[in-house]
Amino acid sequence: MRLFVIELRKERRTGVFLVFPSAGVLGAVYAFLVFHLRKDTLLSLPSAPMDILLTQLCGIMTVFNLFGIITAACMVCHMEFQGGAAKKMAALPVSAGAVYFCRFLILSMLLLAAAALQNLALLWIGRTDLPQGAFVLGTLLRFAGYVFLAAMPVLSFMVLLASCLQNMWVPLGVGVAGFLTGMAFADTEQPLFLLHPFVVMLKPAAAMNAKPDIAVVIAAIVETAVFLCMGFWLTEKSHYE
Amino acid sequence: MDNIITTERLTKKYKRFTAVDGVSLHIRRGSIYGFLGPNGAGKSTTMKMLLGITAPTAGSFSIDGRHFPEDRTAILKGIGSLIESPAFYANLTGRENLDILRRILELPKDTVDDALELVGLTEAGNRLAGKYSLGMKQRLGLAGALLGRPPLLLLDEPTNGLDPSGIHEIRSLIQSLPERYHCTVMISSHMLSEIERMADDVGILNHGRLLFEGSLEELRCYAGGQGKPAGGLGKSADGGAAAYLQPGGVRLEDVFLAMVEQDNAAGKRRAE
């Protein structure tokens, strides 16, 4: 808890506390705008109203969150390398692995806040704009959990990369490349592509119904754990030099 | 003898380059140990190994009877350090930077003000560290090292970037530390006259090898015996200024340069 508070204090003026709420607000505004402008077109699609509400708006929200993750991970780790603070931390009685874990936890909580804002917008739209009796809160909550879980491998992967690479442009470039390749392979059925964390994150956005895909859930849990453990091990074992 | 730091044939190799070559140091508790050497001699690398920032290739060391990595936390809790350039969070103020260190070291709140005051940074404490001048950054780095008044200080060229009055101020502060806070200071500097004025003992490093270790008086005797320029060395009661200006006196710098030159020549002969 002490380390978590220290990590929070370090993030002052980095802009990281603005990134995720911005992604959340942008996602929510996008959902309101699209549903109000294209309500009739969307509801005339050959799917259940709940599937339309969740899958048709999910794509852009996911993109906002994805770029939020890439930017925030780069910001948080760049701040450690910018003034040589990482070197100072290496000479202090603090576990580098624990610091890494706290950083991951902070970004996860901020992503959760962004997702909460976006899902509040979906809740509002569902209650006001869907046909009477079509809105199901349980479906929304289940899909929100699924989307959040699918985003965790990218978060875990980006924190790992940004923590290991001192040049911020490298993880930023990898993040953008990951997004582009993820977009290209998101709708493929080949399970091998689930090894790509960006594909996993974009899978719910490419789906045509709001039913969670168990393969995506398993891939998300495994990849998140693997990247997190790798990052923890690397930071704990490696010396500053 | 009560040594706070003892190294045993400490070695660091980077692929085929040997940065530190079998260095055995003995640093007395409560002393100021001057670590001398030209650029690239291995001073910073040795200090980094003592802090666990880099791992030794061979050899071992103990700090206050403790060993890395098993006693890492206990060792680092008792060391204040400033290695190479000052390290800080550019997005935080000087005070916030020290507060981060204070929280990690689990020190009381007033240690931050104490450290800022010691280095003369109280007024600039609420400014962003990223906007500090080089001298102010150096002072902030030193404040971070002095935070909580640790029993051991490892300072790598701590007066870098300071103006002459700042150098004098920080030098006086470092000189006073063993007496005021009963701490041990290991200090490296390329300003050899500075070490001459502050140190009780010196270690001279060249190409990663320890050429000499002992008190300034022993260095004078050693240099005399080796046919190197000697005389006029030693710290005077007023902090060494008299020795430095003594007519006909030879500074540590002259002895040091002669020693390094001889070692370089021997190295060349070995290479041939």
Nearest residue to B212 via CA among B176, B252, B243: B252
Q: Is A8 on the interface with B (CB under 8 A)?
A: no
Q: Are residues B157 and B144 in the same domain?
A: no
Mean pLDDT across chain A, nearest whole number? 92
**Segment A162-194, tens digit of pLDDT:** 998 888 999 999 999 999 999 999 988 888 999
Q: Is A237 on the interface with B (CB under 8 A)?
A: no
Domains in chain B, number: 2
Provide the residue-wise pLDDT of chain B in tens; the chain has 272 residues: 689 999 999 999 998 899 999 999 999 999 999 999 888 899 999 999 999 989 999 999 999 999 988 898 899 999 999 988 888 999 999 999 999 999 999 999 999 999 999 888 999 999 999 999 888 898 999 999 999 899 999 999 888 878 888 888 888 888 888 888 889 999 998 777 778 888 899 999 999 999 999 988 888 777 666 655 554 444 433 333 333 334 445 566 777 888 888 888 888 887 77
CA angle B152, B155, B158 (to 5 degrees): 145
Residue in chain A closest to B102 (alpha carbons) equals A6
B103 and A93 within 8 Å at the Cβ level: the answer is no
Residue in chain A closest to B147 (alpha carbons) equals A92
Q: What is the pLDDT of residue B225?
A: 66
Q: Is A103 on the interface with B (CB under 8 A)?
A: no
B91 and A79 within 8 Å at the Cβ level: the answer is yes
A91 contacts on B by Cβ (under 8 Å): 51-53, 76, 79, 81, 83
Angle (deg, nearest 10), helices A49-82 and A16-37 = 160
Q: Is A82 on the interface with B (CB under 8 A)?
A: yes
Q: Are residues B189 and B256 in the same domain?
A: yes
pLDDT at A239 over 50: yes
CA angle A47, A140, A72 (to 5 degrees): 115
Q: Which of B122, B150, B178 is the last residue of a domain?
A: B150
B86 and A84 within 8 Å at the Cβ level: the answer is yes
Q: Which of B150, B172, B197 is the last residue of a domain?
A: B150
Indicate the SS3 state at residue A203.
helix
Q: Are residues B67 and B96 in the same domain?
A: no
Q: Are residues B74 and B90 in the same domain?
A: no
Q: Are residues B108 and B217 in the same domain?
A: no
**Per-position b or e across B99-124, b if 16+ CB within 10 A of its CB:** bbbbbbbebeeebbebbbebbbbeeb
From the candidates B92, B93, B132, B154, which should be mutated to test the interface with A, based on the most A CB atoms within 10 A? B92
- CB neighbours (10 Å) of residue B159? 23
Q: What is the pLDDT of residue B248?
A: 46
**Segment A123-167, tens digit of pLDDT:** 999 999 888 888 999 999 999 999 999 999 999 999 999 998 888
User: Domain span at residue B140?
Assistant: 85-150
Where residue B249 sits, what CATH number does that domain have? 3.40.50.300
B88 and A83 within 8 Å at the Cβ level: the answer is yes
Q: Is the ipTM of this complex over 0.90?
A: no
Beta-carbon contacts of B145 under 8 Å, excluding residues fewer than 6 positions away, are B80, B81, B82, B153, B154, B155, B158
Give the one of B53, B86, B128 whose C-beta lies nearest to A90's C-beta: B53
Residues in chain B: 272
Q: Which of B118, B150, B182 is the last residue of a domain?
A: B150
Residues A111-118 have a mean pLDDT of 96
Q: Are residues B143 and B163 in the same domain?
A: no
Q: What is the pLDDT of residue B151?
A: 93
